[in-house]
Amino acid sequence: MLEMPSWLASYLNGSHIHDEVEHHCGGDTTHWDVLFARLANLTEKDIHLRSNEIKRLLQDSGVTHTGAQSSWRLDPMPLMLSECDWQIIQDGVKQRTQLLIRTAQDIYGSQQLMLNGILDARAIQSSPLYIREKNSFAANANPIFIAAFDIYRDADGLFKVKSDHLQSPQGLGLLLENRIIARRVMGDEFAECNVQRIANFFGKFQQNINDLTTGLRDPRVVILSKGPDDPYYSEHAFLSSYMGYTLVNSADLTVRKGKVWLKSLKGLRKVDVIVRWLADNVLDSLEQTDYSIDGIPGLFQAIREGSVHIVNPVGCGILETPQVKSKLEQISQYFNRQSLILPEAQPSPLTAADLDNLLPNLADYQIGRFSQAEFMLDGESQAEKIMSLFDGLTSEQMADYYYLKKAKYSSAPFWDDHNLVAQPIVMRCFTLVSGNNIEVLPSALCFSATGIKSTPTAGWIKDTWIRSNTPQTSIRTLPKLTKEMSDLALLDGVIPSRTAENLYWLGRYLERGENTVRMLRVLIDRFTEFAIYPDSNNKAIVSRLVEAVVNQAVVFPYAEQNISQSETQSYIPREIASQLFADQEFSGSLINTLKALKNSALQVRELLSLDSWRIIDDINDEIRRIAKSPASASTRVMQATIDRIIGFLMAFNGSTSDSMANSNGWFMLDIGRRVERSTQIASVCQHLLGQSLSEIEQLSMLEAVLSTQVSLITHKRRYRMYQSTETGLELLILDGDYPRSLLYQVEQLAQLCKFLPDNSARGMLPAHAKLLLKMQTQCHLADRETLALATEGQRIELIELMQSVKVSLERFGDMLLLQYFSHTKTATPLNSMFGSIDKS
Amino acid sequence: MKYTIKHTTTYSYSEPVNLCQNHARLTPISNQYQQCLTTEIVTSPTVDYLQSFIDYFGNRVSVFDIPTQHEVLQVTAISEVEIYNRQQINMLGWQMPWESVVQALANPITPQTLKAAEFTLVSAFTRYQAEMKDYALQSFTPNRAIVEACEDLMARIFSDFQYESGATTISTPLAEVFASKKGVCQDFAHFALACLRSIGLAGRYVSGYIETFPPEGQEKLEGADATHAWFALYVPDVGWVDFDPTNNVLPNDQHITLAVGRDFADVTPLKGIVFGGGMHQLAVAVDMKRHE
């Protein structure tokens, strides 16, 4: 035996009652020994570094970023399974998959299991997952396409099944991503241990999908997810870009004339296969009894017509219910005269007589309900809940409840930043079905299973390595993370309208964030300068800026407010700056803009490259920091934060601009950005330059305005001899060659709009193009002298032009929404339930 | 006996509807008591897609899309139905004690009983309470012949409950109907089903039409007939026996069955999803013509 480093030795020498590294499979632990022999070279610091490296990679990949739930944490140490253990699991899940297929065919077919009393007819027929609508579908589809099983090793060393996942077998993307990361960080160990490869499984997945659509030219496959609210959304996004399928939620799909269509920017596109990550009973909000916002009205009719394949097929949910699960052993005997290779703990129906025996040992049991698969109370942590539940039960109600002795999961070592700690584990295994062939993924998603959701180790996961005695020659190798290179993603160039809309808003928020930061900078610069040079000129500028910010005239929502000098006196500039920085009640505040930015980025998650996504993650960190910062944060802290934020925003722009391909909708982002920037230029010019001031004040104000537009230096260079409001307006509004001028933005918009599908009649300008032409012409025809001319202190021409431009921009935005995104709105149910029986 | 039935449903919307997708159960079912000879669904505006399928309970469902912008939608179903006289042949089955039927349904061993057993389960509109079971047991006394007991239940509902249009809506809970003893045919059918199911018998909801006659000396008005609802009881070896608690009769040649299900939710005549539309109003007109 090798000399082990202390971090490893202390675990191996610890007393673990039921641990994976110890004596299972007849005491043979050679599969661990190879790993330990490699790890023996690593110091505690090495393993710590690896653990941190994994954290970084996982975070970058975005899988941890689920918004809703606590994030995943991948352990540097894999779970090792011997070939002999694996053989049992593999045979077991194959047998189980086969049996589940047979059972589903029977439940939705000749119902022998119910007629022979093996399944309780009453229980099946009253389950919400017994899908009666399936009765009118063609029966030829295989009831299962992919299945997942949670497996543990019981105290007696036997592998058992904890649960089945068929409606949405989550975790596949997570497993794949774990493997990619584990291989990168633990590459040497991986090679040494001769681990079985998993790439073939994913190849097979795509192959099986292709087999469904044989004979179709250019079939379209979509992955249907609930959207960013789903805790597994990042995984769906990951799988979609890995497999090259479009990620959609139900609002992106519509059924017309018995076919399913993707609502895309270019119109409707037919969908041939839906890989769904949604439950059976919420799929069709027209046909199924319970109206669900996640449903696609008419989907079942499309299935009935055979125009779309859905995987997993509708109806497999019934197999997950306790009334079927608890009878699988009998079903196996009935169909095959075989015992289950992987048995499961048998639930016992609750009776009054059991109750007395149960109560003293409650901590060893779980309480479940036959009619609700998800219902589960833990006898230890939820004892009080159980007691109060039992109090109110009639013996009739009691029949719906069952009790289950808690399993004793085996444990495995996890690195907790200081030591290796033993955590109980469950393995999720996956199988694929095509025809009579069942493929088992030679790995598993291993996760810590404490049974209690809120423990700190919830979400701890491991890659599972299955040793092979034969050398691994995989034809397919795992590709690099596909998005490491670029923001491409939509391979077929069809972009859902919802995605296009989100890109548009992402563009607007990016630009809005930048504008807000620059406005904040100028404001802070000016009032800190005033503190040093308290002259009246400075004071006037500061109060004008403060006024414009308070009235939200120069920040979102760019209100039309008349500046009245008198009221400004009462504002404290530092407080206003802090409001613009962190006040969530202030609609145009930086924190609100960044939050909106993050949300729209999340909606187009699958389009973003790793690099871009990392920046969004950084911005998210800043949001949290700003939210926590005290209202009295020092200007220095504010400045440091906005410096970082502008850095991130610029980096994001750089990261996306490299990979923008207009064919997949990135031009929408640019349109959003230009619309926002134009609105901002017009607002700033109108509100800060609309009044004529004394010469010295005027120059100072012009300088402030030019700073917010990042044009101060250009202006100085270009108009070295004579700088005035005229020259400022010329640069900011009229110069069509200057990339930060209003006219330039409008001309860019006109160019970008050429990418939009044109629905107008031949030879006619579409309405949005007319608006752009109007703005272009107005800018071209204006001249700087007229704009700068003041009547009674007001630059009427300038104010009117800017107001008109803003109205046009707003209408332009509305028109885009109406013309290109309007079919993203949702439907409402209608039925004749009310008043249809008016007399009898 | 042959009838032609015209069933017109009109939706009026406060705002234009751009697209609607619908399911209609407006084609009379064909079974041992009646045959639907011809059927047709006409809509205004016209459909661009119309297909039909047979649902789990044997009803024909028409699926259609209306893609034209509209503020009023009219769906008219015209069917020709032949009704056969219901011969009361299997008197033996009628005599079966109700408890043995409960027994058979609790452990179904034939496909027929398995199908029927589904109708012993509680459904959204037929939630029963202990008082309803007590009410049922007053008719279903020990060892009583099943059909006779059910006729008694029907007669009691007829005399205990008052027919009052507008006293209830579809969302009125059954407990409230039972307390007030007021309702319409739909409530009576749901109540009877709750009673039957509370004691383990299988009952199904029947929607349909009943022929009405104008007051003496007046001409029959177009659209004056009505949609109706009653219930059926499962009797082994006989099948489904209909009971109309609103009129206290065993339906014969004046009742036409439209659709059957566990309760009203399974037989909704017209349901849909609309894009746009705002608020809506609904009007239903039925016209039944007896062929001379």
> What pLDDT, on a 0 to 100 scale, did the predictor assign at position A831?
57
| Residues on chain A touching B280 (C-beta within 8 angstroms) | 830
Please report the sign of the dihedral spanned by the C-alpha atoms of residue A182, residue A183, residue A184, residue A190.
positive
Min distance A129 CA to chain B CA atoms (Å): 15
In this predicted complex, what is the ipTM?
0.93
**Residue-wise over A604-635: b if at least 16 C-beta within 10 A, else e?**
bbbbbbbbbbbbbbbbbebbeebeebeeebeb
What average pLDDT does the segment A692-710 reach?
Answer: 91
Residue in chain A nearest B278 by alpha carbon? A828
Residue among A126, A136, A831 minimizing CB distance to B272: A831
Average pLDDT, chain A: 85
Residue among A305, A834, A840 minimizing CB distance to B228: A840
Q: How many Å apart are CA A158 and CA A151, to the nearest integer?
A: 10
Residue A834 binned pLDDT confidence (cut-offs 50, 70, 90):
very low
> What pLDDT, on a 0 to 100 scale, did the predictor assign at position B85?
82
pLDDT at A775 over 90: yes
Share of chain A above pLDDT 90, in %: 40
- DSSP-based three-state secondary structure for A145: coil
Distance of CA A193 to the CA centre of its chain: 34
Summarize pLDDT for A174-230 with one digit per residue, the tens.
Answer: 898 888 888 888 888 888 888 888 888 998 998 999 888 888 877 899 999 988 778
Tokens of A212: 């469904």
Q: Which CATH architecture has domain B91-251?
A: Roll (3.10)
Q: Which residues pair with B207 in a beta bridge?
A: B229, B259
Distance of CA B31 to the CA centre of its chain: 15
- Tokens 């005491």 correspond to what residue? A27
| Residues on chain A touching B108 (C-beta within 8 angstroms) | 114-115, 121
Q: Is A258 in Cβ contact with B277 (below 8 Å)?
A: no
Q: Is A133 in Cβ contact with B186 (below 8 Å)?
A: no
> What pLDDT, on a 0 to 100 scale, did the predictor assign at position A233?
82
pLDDT at A68 over 80: no
HSE value, Cβ hemisphere, 13 Å, CA-based, for B221? 6
What average pLDDT does the segment A383-394 reach?
Answer: 82
Task: Count Cβ atoms below 10 Å from residue A185 Cβ, excluding itself.
Answer: 19
> What pLDDT, on a 0 to 100 scale, did the predictor assign at position B61?
96
Summarize pLDDT for A346-369 with one digit per residue, the tens.
Answer: 888 888 778 778 888 888 888 888
> What pLDDT, on a 0 to 100 scale, did the predictor assign at position A182?
85
Are A611 and A618 a contacting pair, CB within 8 Å? no
> What pLDDT, on a 0 to 100 scale, did the predictor assign at position A144?
94
Q: Is B108 in Cβ contact with A115 (below 8 Å)?
A: yes
pLDDT at A690 over 80: yes
The maximal CA–CA distance of chain A, rounded, in angstroms, is 100
Residue A836 touches partner B, C-beta closer than 8 Å: yes
Q: Is A298 in Cβ contact with B226 (below 8 Å)?
A: no
| Residues on chain A touching B269 (C-beta within 8 angstroms) | 832, 836
> What pLDDT, on a 0 to 100 scale, did the predictor assign at position A333?
96
> What pLDDT, on a 0 to 100 scale, did the predictor assign at position A451?
55
**Residue-wise over A24-38: b if at least 16 C-beta within 10 A, else e?**
bbeeebebbebbbeb
**Residue-wise over B112-129: b if at least 16 C-beta within 10 A, else e?**
ebbbbbbbbeebebbbbe
Residues 124-143 of A with CB under 8 A from B: 125-126, 132-133, 135-136
| Residues on chain A touching B271 (C-beta within 8 angstroms) | 286, 829-833
- DSSP-based three-state secondary structure for A609: coil
* DSSP letter string, A465-530: EEB-SS----SS-PPPPGGGS-S---TT---BHHHHHHHHHHHHHHHHHHHHHHHHHHHHHHHHHH
> What pLDDT, on a 0 to 100 scale, did the predictor assign at position B191?
96
pLDDT at A473 over 70: no
Q: Which of B273, B282, B286, B288 to mutate to test the interface with A (most CBs of A within 10 A)?
A: B273
Residues 68-87 of B with CB under 8 A from A: none
Residue among A126, A289, A828 minimizing CB distance to B121: A126
Q: Which residues, at least 6 apart from B218, have a Cβ–Cβ distance to it below 8 Å?
A: none
| Residues on chain A touching B48 (C-beta within 8 angstroms) | 257
Residue in chain A nearest B165 by alpha carbon? A839
Residues 564-583 of A with CB under 8 A from B: none
* DSSP letter string, A421-435: EEEEEEEEEEEEEET
> What pLDDT, on a 0 to 100 scale, did the predictor assign at position A664?
65
| pLDDT tens, residue order, chain B (292 aa) | 899 999 999 999 988 888 889 999 999 999 988 999 999 999 999 999 999 999 999 999 999 999 888 999 999 999 999 998 877 666 677 889 999 999 999 999 999 999 999 999 999 999 999 999 999 999 999 999 999 999 999 999 999 999 988 888 888 899 999 999 999 999 999 999 999 999 999 999 999 998 888 778 777 766 667 789 999 999 998 899 999 999 999 988 889 999 999 999 999 999 988 887 778 888 999 998 888 7
Residue A397 touches partner B, C-beta closer than 8 Å: no
pLDDT at A480 over 80: no
pLDDT at A566 over 90: no
Residue among B118, B229, B273 minimizing CB distance to A837: B229
> What pLDDT, on a 0 to 100 scale, did the predictor assign at position A472?
65
Residue A635 binned pLDDT confidence (cut-offs 50, 70, 90):
confident
Q: How many Å apart are CA A690 and CA A340, to the nearest integer?
A: 82
> What pLDDT, on a 0 to 100 scale, did the predictor assign at position A398?
83
Tokens of A374: 């998800």
- Tokens 């001249």 correspond to what residue? A783
- Tokens 């006659």 correspond to what residue? B213
| Residues on chain B touching A828 (C-beta within 8 angstroms) | 273-274, 277
Please report the sign of the dihedral spanned by the C-alpha atoms of residue B224, residue B227, residue B231, residue B234.
positive
For chain B, how big is the Rg over CA atoms in Å? 20
Residue B54 touches partner A, C-beta closer than 8 Å: yes
The maximal CA–CA distance of chain B, rounded, in angstroms, is 61
Residue B282 touches partner A, C-beta closer than 8 Å: yes
Task: Count Cβ atoms below 10 Å from residue A702 Cβ, excluding itself.
Answer: 22
Residue A687 binned pLDDT confidence (cut-offs 50, 70, 90):
very high
Q: How many Å apart are CA A197 and CA B225, to the nearest integer?
A: 71
| Residues on chain B touching A297 (C-beta within 8 angstroms) | 21, 273
Residue A120 touches partner B, C-beta closer than 8 Å: no
> What pLDDT, on a 0 to 100 scale, did the predictor assign at position A440?
96
> What pLDDT, on a 0 to 100 scale, did the predictor assign at position B275?
83
> What pLDDT, on a 0 to 100 scale, did the predictor assign at position A315?
92
Residue A118 touches partner B, C-beta closer than 8 Å: no
Min distance B214 CA to chain A CA atoms (Å): 14
Least Cα distance to A245 among A271, A268, A279 occurs for A271
Distance of CA A41 to the CA centre of its chain: 39
Q: Is A836 in Cβ contact with B282 (below 8 Å)?
A: yes
The amino acid that residue B131 corresponds to is E
Domain definitions of chain A by residue range? 53-325+409-469, 346-405, 495-659, 663-827
pLDDT at A65 over 50: no
Residue A486 binned pLDDT confidence (cut-offs 50, 70, 90):
very low
> What pLDDT, on a 0 to 100 scale, did the predictor assign at position A442?
94
Are A659 and A486 a contacting pair, CB within 8 Å? yes
Min distance B1 CA to chain A CA atoms (Å): 21
- pLDDT: which is higher, B234 or A754: B234
Residue A187 touches partner B, C-beta closer than 8 Å: no
Q: Which of A114, A257, A836 to mutate to test the interface with B (most CBs of B within 10 A)?
A: A836
Least Cα distance to A821 among A490, A488, A505 occurs for A505
Q: Which residues pair with B257 in a beta bridge?
A: B208
Lowest-confidence segment of A105-119, A260-274, A784-798 by average pLDDT? A260-274
Domain definitions of chain B by residue range? 2-84+268-290, 91-251
Q: Is A298 in Cβ contact with B273 (below 8 Å)?
A: yes
Summarize pLDDT for A408-432 with one digit per residue, the tens.
Answer: 899 999 988 888 899 999 999 999 9
What average pLDDT does the segment A160-182 reach?
Answer: 89
Q: Is A832 in Cβ contact with B282 (below 8 Å)?
A: yes
Least Cα distance to A299 among A261, A269, A260 occurs for A260
What average pLDDT does the segment A478-492 reach?
Answer: 40
Tokens of A134: 């399936």
- pLDDT: which is higher, A452 or A176: A176
| Residues on chain A touching B122 (C-beta within 8 angstroms) | 126
| Residues on chain B touching A256 (C-beta within 8 angstroms) | 49, 65, 67
The amino acid that residue A509 corresponds to is Y
Residue A489 binned pLDDT confidence (cut-offs 50, 70, 90):
very low
Least Cα distance to A138 among B244, B53, B142 occurs for B53
pLDDT at A383 over 90: no
pLDDT at A481 over 60: no
> What pLDDT, on a 0 to 100 scale, did the predictor assign at position A93?
97
B2-84+268-290: CATH topology is Immunoglobulin-like (2.60.40)
- pLDDT: which is higher, A275 or B252: A275
Residue A470 touches partner B, C-beta closer than 8 Å: no
Summarize pLDDT for A310-326 with one digit per residue, the tens.
Answer: 999 999 999 999 889 88
Summarize pLDDT for A669-680 with one digit per residue, the tens.
Answer: 999 999 999 999
Q: How many Å apart are CA B136 and CA A144, to the nearest integer?
A: 44
Residue among B56, B111, B229 minimizing CB distance to A115: B111
pLDDT at A474 over 70: no
Q: Which residues pair with B183 in a beta bridge?
A: B163
Q: Which residues pair with A401 in a beta bridge?
A: A369
pLDDT at A493 over 60: no
Residue A827 touches partner B, C-beta closer than 8 Å: yes
Residue A826 binned pLDDT confidence (cut-offs 50, 70, 90):
low
Residue in chain B nearest A831 by alpha carbon? B271
- Tokens 């949670």 correspond to what residue? A150
Residue A485 binned pLDDT confidence (cut-offs 50, 70, 90):
very low
Residue B130 touches partner A, C-beta closer than 8 Å: no
Class of residue A537 by CB neighbours under 10 A (exposed 0-12, middle 13-18, buried 19+): middle
- DSSP-based three-state secondary structure for A80: strand
Residue among A135, A287, A837 minimizing CB distance to B184: A837
Residue A822 touches partner B, C-beta closer than 8 Å: no
Q: Which residues pair with A467 in a beta bridge?
A: A195
Q: Is A115 in Cβ contact with B110 (below 8 Å)?
A: yes
* DSSP letter string, B161-187: SEE-TTS--TTS-HHHHHHHTEE-HHH
- DSSP-based three-state secondary structure for A449: coil
- Tokens 């009026």 correspond to what residue? B12
Residue A27 binned pLDDT confidence (cut-offs 50, 70, 90):
low
Share of chain A above pLDDT 70, in %: 89
> What pLDDT, on a 0 to 100 scale, did the predictor assign at position A4?
80
Tokens of B10: 């009109």
Min distance B56 CA to chain A CA atoms (Å): 6
Judge if the upstream peptide bond of residue A312 is cis by omega within 30 degrees of 0: yes
Least Cα distance to B114 among A113, A131, A105 occurs for A113
Min distance B32 CA to chain A CA atoms (Å): 22
Min distance A373 CA to chain B CA atoms (Å): 19
